[in-house]
Structure 1
Amino acid sequence: MFKLLVIEDDATLFNEVKDRLSQWSYDVFGISDFGNVMQEFSEIKPDLVIIDIQLPKFDGFHWCRMIRSHSNVPILFLSSRDHPTDMVMSMQLGADDFVQKPFHFDVLIAKIQAVLRRVYNYNTEAVSFKTWCGAAVDYERNTVSNDEGSVELTKNEMFILKLLIDQKNKIVSRDHLINSLWDDKRFISDNTLTVNVNRLRKRLEEIGLGTFIETKVGQGYIAIEEEPS
């Protein structure tokens, strides 16, 4: 049974979400002290976090930053705020998806299932380790390491990198990446993929690999394999 932590201060909405998700056999937890979210997060050890942006004391962006500084657990924002910058900000902070209120519960459940399936199922594949451009890519630990150091990626970042290096030196279309990451692209902004890829590049730049993910305008992205010297 997956444990879901719902960081939502609207008690009526939280209870409704909890009731509906419990019907799908999820173990749902809430927050009792919105000034001490990280302690409750650490105690619960959830498999997925659903978080609102507008919260008492500190907003959801703050808690997303705090969670990301300690964990790569998947995060899904649930918010009535609909400005594109809010969605972009959530992705830049490492969120896996964004659901806008009001929402249909079937959409929420589909997104939760897609994230959980992507995060906790793809690591069961036989291949858990690859080399790329002289770096060790560890799918189980979500790390990329080379002589310049090691970076830890979020689940989305590693999933994108895996899709690209599985087809290294070949263009992977935006549609393929979106359909692989999110089951129903009708609910996904095209900018969401761009933000995720840019965040992946920024992380890879820390160990000198940012330029090896190239954008092919109007087509998609390509992972370049470093030519041997």
Structure 2
Amino acid sequence: MYSILIIEDDHKIRDLLASYLHKYDFRVNTVEDFRRIKEIVQQLSPDLILLDINLPYYDGFYWCRIIRTFSLAPVIFISARVGEMDQVLAIENGGDDYITKPFHMDVVMAKINSVLRRTYGEYSDHQQPRHMIQVQGLCLYVDKHQVEWKGKRVDLTHNETILLQMLLEHYDRIVSREALLSALWDDHTFVDDNTLTVNVTRVRKKLREIGIKEAIQTHRGAFKSVSRIRVRQNIHVLS
């Protein structure tokens, strides 16, 4: 299930896109505060971004350049601007595709699927990780079961990868133990609370191995991946 972030100030268009994408089982988030776009993208680490050009405060070209300083997530511009130069500027500022308004939802869906296939699926470069989640410079390579920080990389088990992925995808939010247990459970393996605790402990240990301490906090039976990276006494931590 891929996550899509919609950055669009027209509520009708935003809600139309969100409703349609939900039908195809995408996880959809939208931006409400257009002064915090960088922070929101960093927190959510979406797999794909739908970006309007005409936005409050700064235009989509500006935000695409900012996003490209920390994320490789594909960006599809959706705009009422139909000029060729606008499309050129969209690509030159880091965009992957361009859709003009008014649009047909089938065209939007086709372009989204095409970009996702090129980035993560059958047409992607298999020498590169097909699914990477990045939060504040901490990179989880889901397909490779590896996590990297400041050039240091460590291998994860299947369960450790699932847990860290859940926490990073819900960055700065509390994730219930029930949700984590559900993510670990499959048709062949029963997972109890003790197994969850052991795996969380292992994830903490792996993060310490690459220089990150206190990255996961426990809140009365739930887990939370904490808010930002900073330096404390020359030690890089998530705190």
Residues 23-72 of structure 1: CA deviation (Å, up to 9, x unaligned):
01111110121011011111111000000000001100010000011111
Asked if the contact 2:6/2:51 (under 8 Å) is kept, the reply is yes
Alignment of 1:1-229 (within 5 A): 1-121=1-121, 122-123=123-124, 125=126, 128=127, 139-140=128-129
In terms of Rg, which structure is larger? 2
Q: Which runs of 5+ in 2 are unaligned?
A: 131-239
Please, what TM-score do these two structures have when normalized by structure 2? 0.52
Partners of 1:4 and 1:29 within 8 A in 2: yes
Residues in 2 aligned to 1:96 and 1:44: alpha-carbon distance in whole angstroms:
19
Q: Secondary structure at the match of 2:82?
A: coil
Cα distance in 2 for partners of 1:7, 1:57 equals 13
- Consecutive aligned runs of 4 or more in structure 1 exceeding 4 Å deviation: none
Mapped to 2, the partners of 1:17 and 1:25 lie a distance apart of 13
Equivalent in the alignment of 1:213? none
What is the aligned residue count?
Answer: 129
> 1:124: Cα distance to partner?
7.0
State the AA in 1 paired with 2:3: K
Unaligned runs of 5+ in 1: 129-138, 142-229
Larger helix fraction of residues: 1
Q: Which has the higher contact order (CA 8 A, sep 6+)?
A: 1
Identical-pair percentage: 40
The CA RMSD over aligned residues, in Å, is 1.4
Asked if the contact 2:117/2:124 (under 8 Å) is kept, the reply is: no
